[in-house]
Amino acid sequence: MIRKVVLITATQVKSINQIVCADGSNQHMCYDLGKIESSLHSAFYPGEPPFQHGGIASVAGAIAFYITKAHAFFDGNKRTAVLSATLFLKVNGWVLLYPPDSLAELIDDCASSKVEIEDVKKWFDSHKVYVPL
């Protein structure tokens, strides 16, 4: 049986950022929701499987990459990117298992342009674990 892929929305990503900011007692401000919509569109292209970026984990890596690079929020862009990507994985039956700090280091490197999208996608793909729903 083939399961339908569950996509996340820009509104959900914005809500994630609101939570991230509230948790850190920081101001939530979305500069441009269109940047998030564009990031998700790029990750989900062409809108249904097979996705341009590959499987679920690679698409999650693309989500993390594009949201990090979009810098659509006043604060919490990297945390929002990671949580959005892991939410996408979770609702599709996957989780990440990785050494402490390795995901944070990857996303910091993404933000500072030390890694390319292919590196992020490979990292997500190599750390994914299927969890039957």
Which residues, at least 6 apart from 22, have a Cβ–Cβ distance to it below 8 Å? 28
| Residue extents of the structural domains in the chain | 10-130
Write down the CATH superfamily of domain 10-130: Fic/DOC protein, Fido domain (1.20.120.1870)
Q: What pLDDT, on the 0 to 100 scale, is given for residue 41?
A: 97
Q: What pLDDT, on the 0 to 100 scale, is given for residue 122?
A: 98
Low-confidence ranges of the chain (pLDDT < 70): 1-2, 133
Q: What pLDDT, on the 0 to 100 scale, is given for residue 48?
A: 86
- Among residues 66, 69, 82, 62, which one has the least CA distance to residue 17? 82
Q: Please identify which residue in the block is written with the tokens 């890596």.
A: 61
Q: What pLDDT, on the 0 to 100 scale, is given for residue 84?
A: 98
Single-letter residue type at 30? C
Q: What pLDDT, on the 0 to 100 scale, is given for residue 3?
A: 79
Report the C-alpha dihedral over residues 46, 49, 53, 58, rounded to 10 degrees: 140
Decide: 33 and 72 in contact? Cβ < 8 Å.
yes
- Among residues 65, 73, 53, which one has the least CA distance to residue 111? 65
Decide: 45 and 51 in contact? Cβ < 8 Å.
yes
The CA distance from 30 to 17, in Å, is 9
Tokens (6 digits) for 120: 């992020």
